Amino acid sequence: MNYDTFTLDNGIRLVHLRTNSFVAHLALLVQTGSRDEDENEHGLAHLIEHLLFKGTKKRKAYHIISRLEDVGGELNAYTTKEETCIYASFLKEHFTRASELIHDIMFNSAFPQKEINREKYVIIDEINSYLDNPGELIFDEFEELLFTDHPLGRNILGTPESLESAGRTDILRFTGQNYATDEIVLCLIGNISFNRFKSIILRQFGDVPVKRRMKLRNPVKNISSGLVTRQKNTYQSHTIIGNTGYKIKDERRLALHLLNNILGGPGMNSRLNMALRERNGYSYHTESHYNSYTDTGVVYIYFSGDKSKLDRSKEIVFRELKKLRNNRLGDLQFVKAKRQLMGQIAISAEHHENLMLTMAKSYLIFNKVDSLEEIRRKIDAITTGQILEIANEILTENKLFCLTYI
């Protein structure tokens, strides 16, 4: 992968990949998310992400929305537990327009009180929509129970009560303490030369004052295990079974991704989908995931289904976990699993917006971006012994936490 990089004097990092396309993609990624909130700031990072679109020193909300949409472009943003991202897709000739807009909303947002008050109710409506959807709500509660009394366990949206108490002073304090220039990456993918990218970004972002992080993240200490059941009066049961996983810089992370893919990844031939759906017809929706954070990670299995099949479904899941702990994968099976994961990664990289977001996060965390060839070599180096060892470390039954809605 022939990408180029540059670091501004204020610490903002640039990463660039040239492609032969009429469409370009630009992202600004900052290493600040909901885990950086104090308890009385719950939901503030996500609220700020919304408010970035609600007015700057020279633009009203309508003008922000229209700036790219008027030329057929798109502007969006998201907040995770550890990052906030603003990103845009546009015709390549509108790059300067897109980068200037992202600069304006990131560094010149006015946070007008009227918009703060209005947006709180928009997010409260978003919270209520989650409360109406147990298949979404259970994921938030699972991490809340797993990471007891830690900001990593709190949901990203906040609560109606925490949002009601948030004011403009809180927003300015949070951005001042947590948005560090050396924790910002700008990633561009498109048919735009690196020299032009660097020149325009230097002009637009070069004068941004240096800012360093003023708050350190609290390390994760208390982890829960056991069984929790909630009465939700739903048609179906919903279950999550999981444990903590490896942090983002752990060398075993890719092997755990491979194990997760075998267990319940996006392929219809995953072990859980075959066992619960194809062979028994117990669950329409079953999946597993592995998310890595700065200092920990989380691995979880989710499935829903008829309440009368819940106990049997759990038995099947635990049986599949036991197989992974006790039985080394066969050579042919292991080769197929590696090919499947590599294919999924390569196909995702064909979508340039996905690739941009992946590159931005990789450069933010590791200060480098692995090529597909490098990723293939790392996948090929994984052994069946590593998979067996990881399965026994993470998927041991007495270490798992289980949350069920019935």
* Nearest 10 degrees: Cα torsion 197, 201, 204, 208: 180
Under 8 Å between Cβ of 294 and 367: no
4-205: CATH number = 3.30.830.10
CATH number of 226-405: 3.30.830.10
Which residues face 239 on adjacent strands? Answer: 303, 404
- Which residues make Cβ contacts (< 8 Å) with residue 118, sequence separation at least 6? none
Give the pLDDT confidence score for residue 43 in this predicted structure. Answer: 97
Q: Which residues contact 66 (CB under 8 A, 6 or more apart)?
A: none
Domain with CATH 3.30.830.10 in the chain: 4-205, 226-405
List the end-to-end C-alpha distance of the chain, in Å, as a whole number. 48
pLDDT in tens, the chain (406 residues): 799 999 999 999 999 999 999 999 999 999 999 999 999 999 999 999 999 999 999 999 999 999 999 999 999 999 999 999 999 999 999 999 999 999 999 999 999 999 999 999 999 999 999 888 999 999 999 999 999 889 999 999 999 999 999 999 999 999 999 999 999 999 999 999 999 999 999 999 999 999 998 888 988 887 877 899 999 988 999 999 999 999 999 999 999 999 999 999 999 999 999 999 999 999 999 999 999 999 999 999 999 999 999 999 999 999 999 999 999 999 999 999 999 999 999 999 999 999 999 999 999 999 999 999 999 999 999 999 999 999 999 999 999 999 999 9
Q: How far apart are CA 404 and CA 241, in angstroms?
A: 9
Q: What is the per-residue pLDDT for 214?
A: 85
What pLDDT does 361 receive?
Answer: 98
Say what the pLDDT of residue 185 is. Answer: 98
Residue 402 has which token pair?
């289980």
In the block, residue with structure tokens 């993609």: 25
At 1 the pLDDT is: 79
- Residue 60 three-state SS: strand
Tokens of 306: 């008829």
Residue 223's pLDDT is what?
82
